[in-house]
């Protein structure tokens, strides 16, 4: 325990699902955590859980698609926590539809939340990290950023962009001692995954059972993805940058 002691982390989409698990784990490992989300109730609940456990956390209401909100969230984190060493660009949404059934509005929304937010938060966080001597950026991508998936064209496009953005940022900022990596989760038991069943008009129980058909015979837990993020955030991965870490129970193995 304590692999992140003295670090300050900002996690987007930290009010639920994978982001929530990351926030709780990072706090247990000694980091002070700022959660940026539109879900104020959920975000404040995570903050309370961290504080009840003796950790330090804060919440900032943020629309991750708006530059002024992203700039304010980074500034708020630095002011409240005293610095910023770890940025986790985790906020994301999915729309399950083919190109024929995806509206222009849906396309723009998915790209804004899943891709533009990473651009904006990184734009404002990198100077802070560079001035302090370095830092870590972790982007949440997806297995569908590496291979295609049916009826999810906007999501696949956005996560493919995240994977290659990660590589480009690693090249640009390595000399500033800023490591940039992404995680590619497989199906993980989150509210977003369960919402996919609703979008596709499928029974949730059957949808989740089909999602578990991979070598490890289960879907992921948010804590599984959080552990991968902890590795990338900690000094254990000090020579790792520009990589896409697949955490999917073997789903892409064959």
Which residues are catalytic, by number? 155
Distance in angstroms (rounded) separating the CA atoms of residues 250 and 6: 34
Backbone angles phi, psi at 251, to 5 degrees: -60, -30
Distance in angstroms (rounded) separating the CA atoms of residues 86 and 90: 12
Work out the number of other CB atoms within 10 angstroms of the CB of residue 138: 27
Q: End-to-end alpha-carbon separation of the chain, Å?
A: 35
Distance in angstroms (rounded) separating the CA atoms of residues 123 and 138: 14
Residue from 161, 82, 84 nearest 117 by CA: 161
DSSP letter, residue 9: E
- 181 by Cβ neighbours in 10 Å (0-12 / 13-18 / 19+) ranks as buried
Distance in angstroms (rounded) separating the CA atoms of residues 209 and 227: 24
For tokens 């900032």, what's the residue?
60
Residue from 228, 230, 215 nearest 185 by CA: 228
Residue from 156, 210, 204 nearest 187 by CA: 210
């Amino acid at each position: 325990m304590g692999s992140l002691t003295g670090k300050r982390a900002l996690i987007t989409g930290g009010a639920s699902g994978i982001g929530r698990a990351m926030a709780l784990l990072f706090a247990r490992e000694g980091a002070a955590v700022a959660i940026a989300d539109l879900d104020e109730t959920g975000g404040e609940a995570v903050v309370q859980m961290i504080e009840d456990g003796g950790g330090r956390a804060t919440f900032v209401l943020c629309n991750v698609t708006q530059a002024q909100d992203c700039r304010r969230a980074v500034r708020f984190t630095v002011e409240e926590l005293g610095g910023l060493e770890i940025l986790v660009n985790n906020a994301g949404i999915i729309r399950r539809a083919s190109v024929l059934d995806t509206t222009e509005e849906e396309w723009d929304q998915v790209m804004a939340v899943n891709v533009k937010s990473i651009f904006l938060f990184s734009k404002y966080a990198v100077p802070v990290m560079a001035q302090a001597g370095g830092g870590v950026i972790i982007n949440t991508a997806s297995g569908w950023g590496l291979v295609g998936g049916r009826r999810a064209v906007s999501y696949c496009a956005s996560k493919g962009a995240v994977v290659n953005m990660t590589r480009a940022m690693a090249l640009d900022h390595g000399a500033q001692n800023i490591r940039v990596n992404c995680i590619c989760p497989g199906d993980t038991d989150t509210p977003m995954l369960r919402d996919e069943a609703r979008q596709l008009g499928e029974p949730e129980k059957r949808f989740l059972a089909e999602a578990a058909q991979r070598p490890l015979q289960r879907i992921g837990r948010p804590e599984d993805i959080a552990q991968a993020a902890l590795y990338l955030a900690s000094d254990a991965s000090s020579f790792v940058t520009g990589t896409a870490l697949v955490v999917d129970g073997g789903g892409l193995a064959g």
